[in-house]
Amino acid sequence: MLNIPSQSFPAPSSQQRVSPSAQSGRNKVSLKPGHSLMDWIRFAKSGKDLTGLRGRLMEVTQDELQKHNKREDCWTCIRGMVYNVTPYMDYHPGGEEELMKAAGIDGTDLFDQVLCSTVSIHVYFGKH
Ligand code: HEM
């Protein structure tokens, strides 16, 4: 018997398909044009000061973290590292609303629960 795949390409469950979340069981949003993963990587490597600290590292207290809980000034903590996710909002595959759930707080559990962590955070924000 010939091994002819019965499914079309990409496969129905493939992440390459744009399908309503109810159908796929996932909650990814449609990103605006120019906001793909490749665009984010290009932007992150462009040399722009994305952290707002010009590459400086600082100790962040809980009080300080809490102050950065707005769309235009949003920090979150993942596994003990604090990230300025403000520039990432429009690039987040789960959408701005989801990312804002971790604004100003420790977002590790949320991050782990929703499969964001399938890829290392270093891929998105570089080594810290
Ligand atoms: C810096 C922090 C974060 C990064 C770098 C990040 C990154 C990502 C990435 C790469 C995906 C796509 C995963 C895939 O294609 O398999 C994703 C999806 C998603 N993220 Fe995040 N994420 C972050 C924080 C959060 C937080 C705090 C939430 C809050 C609940 C969240 C909610 C979601 C949701 C709902 C999805 C869609 C999951 C699905 O496909 O159903 N993310 N995120």
Does the C-beta of 27 come closer than 6 Å to ligand 1?
A: yes
pLDDT of residue 6: 62
Q: What is the pLDDT of residues 54-110, one digit of tens each?
A: 878 899 999 999 999 999 999 999 999 999 999 999 999 999 999 999 999 999 999
Q: Give how many domains the chain has, as a whole number.
A: 1
Does the C-beta of 87 come closer than 6 Å to ligand 1?
A: no
pLDDT of residue 128: 65
pLDDT of residue 34: 96
Closest listed residue to residue 128, CA positions, set 48, 50, 34:
50
pLDDT of residue 12: 57
- 21-28: long-range pairs with CB below 8 Å, 24+: 27/94, 27/95, 27/98, 27/114, 28/93, 28/94, 28/95
Domain housing 53: 27-125
Q: Whose CA is nearest to atom 4 of ligand 1?
A: 116
Q: Whose CA is nearest to atom 43 of ligand 1?
A: 116
- Model-level pTM? 0.80
Reported as a pLDDT band with limits 50, 70 and 90, residue 23 is low
Is there a domain that residue 92 lies in?
yes
Ligand 1 mutation pick, 16, 36, 82, 111, max ligand atoms within 8 A of CB = 111
Is there a domain that residue 19 lies in?
no
Is there a domain that residue 38 lies in?
yes
Is there a domain that residue 2 lies in?
no
Is there a domain that residue 14 lies in?
no
Is there a domain that residue 12 lies in?
no
pLDDT of residue 50: 85
Reported as a pLDDT band with limits 50, 70 and 90, residue 21 is very low
Closest listed residue to residue 104, CA positions, set 54, 56, 64:
64
Chain centroid to CA 66: how far? 20
In this structure, what CATH number is given to the domain that contains residue 56? Answer: 3.10.120.10
Phi and psi angles of residue 122, each rounded to the nearest 5 degrees, phi first: -60, -30
- Which region among 13-22, 30-39, 105-114 has the lowest average model confidence (pLDDT)? 13-22
Is there a domain that residue 5 lies in?
no
Is there a domain that residue 16 lies in?
no
